[in-house]
Amino acid sequence: MLWRTTSGQLALVADLRFADDIDGLAGNVCKVASLVEKLDKALSNFGMEISAEKTKIMTNCKETSKKEIKVNGQILERVKKFKYLGSIISDEGSKPEILSKKAQTTAALTKFKPI
């Protein structure tokens, strides 16, 4: 999704929604902070709020930012992996998920009996 910032520049931000889960994607930590702030403001217009206890932040860039992202005055926890729709999403990419699925498939196949 593209949107125009207040300075007139185009910004690319995507969000993935499923039931009450929303995953926000942005190019850097400052954009994530802005996304969280805008989402929090939009939700408050409808009497809803972001749960700081349930909300986590994960980055996959080599440079770690010290910028804290807050919701309702609480700092959001940074994590290295999380489960989304049954899959493990990690800052290492998809290798751990692929290895896990491969092991599950192998375990299921070994239960078959020869015909």
Domain residue spans in the chain? Answer: 2-79, 83-115
The torsion angles phi and psi of 33, rounded to 5 degrees, stand at: -60, -40
Block residue for tokens 């910004």: 11
Task: Report pLDDT for 75.
Answer: 92
Task: Report pLDDT for 1.
Answer: 43
Task: Report pLDDT for 2.
Answer: 41
Ranges of the chain with pLDDT below 70: 1-21, 61-65, 85
Q: Are 72 and 63 in contact (CB under 8 A)?
A: no
Helix (H) or strand (E) holding 24: strand 21-25
